[in-house]
Chains A and B, each alone.
Chain A
């Protein structure tokens, strides 16, 4: 889960997984900011974050990924995992 200077740079990375080719593993920075800026993320310093906010993250993440068109198992991961 890295940031690269461009897709070309990522493809030249010696540990680049060819299965993530063809755009499968890439995400626009703006989409990444949305994915990691959902409502629950804004409460990480709240006193009840772990019990009240963290459990919401899985659904939030799915919603953002769907909006970004990333609905493959590659992005959706294990169901229910926040």
Chain B
């Protein structure tokens, strides 16, 4: 396993990249940022994903698909900050954690209800719910926490 400091550096680059742009960087960009050879950058990415298994690469690629609480691959959980919809949450549960990536900001999450298509909206600021529409919103875990991991249709 790589040097934990290197993994921290790479993790922070990915998370910061997602927050700043809504997109996860490629390992080639990460390697350059960390001033390491490309193969080492790729291996560091693989090591980070192994150390952070709640995220995942797109199958048979080196592309970051999911890096919770945000997702590089669009989901129905659209996240807006300062009126700009730039981000996607990994799932409805992780959506409630995105607030911690934008301190001092109101984070809006809007998704279509998978039953009726009508909007489900929450707004949070520094971890507090400030808007819940409709008030009856609930979270639902379909398969249990272990088995749900990596089941994309249910995220």
Contact = CB atoms under 8 A, between A and B. Distances in A.
Nearest to A3: B92
Chain B interface: which size bin? 35 or more
Interface of A: 1-7, 9-10, 12-13, 15-17, 19-20, 25-33, 35-37, 41-42, 44-51, 54, 73-78, 81-82
Given A13-B115, A36-B93, A26 B134 contact: no
B96 to A, nearest CB: 5
B115 A37 contact: no
Interface of B: 4-5, 7-9, 11-12, 15-16, 19, 48, 51-54, 69, 77, 91-97, 99-101, 111, 113-116, 118, 120, 122, 124, 127, 129, 132, 134, 136-146, 148-149, 153-155
A61 B126 CA distance: 19
A9 B116 contact: yes
A21 B2 CA distance: 44
A56 B155 CA distance: 23
11 contacts: A3-B92, A3-B122, A27-B141, A32-B139, A36-B69, A44-B97, A45-B16, A50-B12, A51-B5, A51-B8, A73-B146
